[in-house]
Amino acid sequence: MSKAEEERVEEIIEKNIVISFHDHAEVFPEDPSEFIEYERIGRLWIGYEGLAASGLDAFFEGLQDGIALMRSMDPWDWDNVIHQIGMVQADLDHQDLVFVARRASDIEKAYREGRIAMVIHLEGPPNIREDISRVDILYGLGVRCMGIAYSRGNEFGSGLADKIDRGLTDLGYELVRRMNKLGMLIDLAHAGDKTSLDTIEASKDPVAITHAGARALWPSRRMKPDEVIQALAEKGGVFGVEAAPHTTITKNNPRHSIESVMEHFQYIEKLVGIDHVAFGPDTLFGDHVALHRAFREYLALTSIEENLPPFPRVEYVDGLENPSEYRNIIRWLVKNGYSDQEIAKVIGGNILRLVKRVWGE
């Protein structure tokens, strides 16, 4: 980039609230053979230094993405989930940069004070069975965004790895009502297509897809069909484009890099407009590809990657490897002719508008 372009990027970061819709701001062990033990112990190492360099004012921290195994082999075990929510906050309370966002104004506060707000985001609900009132407990512990189903379905609905999508169940409808009542944002990133459409229709509030891409560009179940993206936008929801290795690939850019990611962004922007798209890069500090290898079964990757056309494997996503590289998205947008106003929307404005509506100011 030219010096003038670099200056414009810095100015944009300074003037606007920058939010990631989905990341894992954790530092993973350098040796991948230690990943399972790291998850089993369940003490999260937050990458504060990397976050400080990211330009972010707020980020949705994806907790319990199906791999924390502290107390039992069921990652969605209630105790496992509570363990992780408590442990991350025990860490946060020993420093001053990052704090938990409980309302939309906390994100504005983080921006004003030069700090960073962490939104506690569960990628799927814990195993609470019929006890919907436990969602209130999660809310009380700071959870402000939660998925309906992780890749494999549950008592509420089907996940994107399920062969048959049964749609939102009766209990799922109850969960949606409870989340609406509490003001907890619903995330459909890992839900199946029918479950997603049912939820969008059932929810009083607009909902989110915090991290995914367009299936029109890459035929993976991890990606969302136009029908779901359009229904989400019509209801006022926001779609976060993701960058975890080997997800948002395209036929033009099969070697996963920031270029493939931005192709998904441009497609979704054209499909539903600039007011409904954002970024949830889904990155971490460490070897993300090795992490996928270690937890392949838990993440249901085998069934998600079934029947995909062949594509080259990468060691990391060039340009979007970890949360501190969020600013490369802004660089790309500047380089590719987006206006300051358009950039402001997609790097945070759209997400802030949505959470103000769902959480309340």
Indicate the residue among 106 and 187 with the shorter CB distance to Zn ion: 187
Tokens of 249: 């690939």
Site for Zn ion in 14-43 (CB under 5 A): none
Which 116-135 positions form the footprint of Zn ion (CB under 5 A)? Answer: 123
Q: C-alpha distances in angstroms, 146 versus 109, 122, 183, 337?
A: 23, 5, 11, 34
Minimum CB separation from Zn ion for residue 121, in Å? 10
For the CB of residue 229, give the shortest distance to Zn ion in the complex, in Å.
Answer: 17
| Complex with Zn ion: residue 110 or 229, whichever CB lies closer | 229
Q: Which of 322, 334, 352, 280 is nearest to 16 (CA)?
A: 352
- Within 10 angstroms of residue 201's Cβ, the number of other Cβ atoms is 11
E strand or H helix at 199, and its extent? Answer: helix 193-202
Q: How far is the CB of 157 from Zn ion (least distance, A)?
A: 16
Q: Among residue numbers 198 through 227, which ones bind Zn ion (CB under 5 A)?
A: none
Q: Which of 126, 158, 154, 151 is nearest to 141 (CA)?
A: 126
CB of 290 to Zn ion, least distance (A): 17
Q: Which residue is nearest to Zn ion (CB)?
A: 123
For 107-146, letters b (16+ CB in 10 Å) and e give bbbbbeeebbbbbbbbbbbbbbeeebebbeebbeebbbbb
Residue 55 gets the label, from left (phi > 0), alpha (psi -120 to 50) or beta, of left
Strands 98-100 and 116-122, by their bridges, are: parallel
Q: Which is nearer to Zn ion, 17 or 186 (by Cβ)? A: 186
- Minimum CB distance to Zn ion smaller for 188 or for 329: 188
Size of the site for Zn ion (CB under 5 A): 1
Of the pair 211, 276, the CB lying nearest Zn ion is at: 211
Site for Zn ion in 160-199 (CB under 5 A): none
* Residue with smaller CB distance to Zn ion, 99 or 295: 295
CB of 330 to Zn ion, least distance (A): 23
φ, ψ of residue 334 in degrees (nearest 5): -65, -50
Give least dist CB 148 to Zn ion, A.
Answer: 13
b/e burial code for range 318-334 (CB count within 10 A of at least 16 → b): ebbbbbbbbbbbbbbbb
Beta carbon nearer to Zn ion, 22 or 327: 22
Burial 285-302 (b: 16+ CB within 10 A, else e): bbbbbbbeebbeebbbbe
Q: Which is nearer to Zn ion, 123 or 165 (CB)?
A: 123
The length of the chain, given as a count of residues: 361
Query: Least CB distance from residue 273 to Zn ion, whole Å?
Result: 25
Residue 40: CB atoms within 10 A of its CB come to: 13
Tell me how far, at minimum, the Cβ of 251 lies from Zn ion, in Å: 23
Contacting residues toward Zn ion, per CB under 5 A: 123
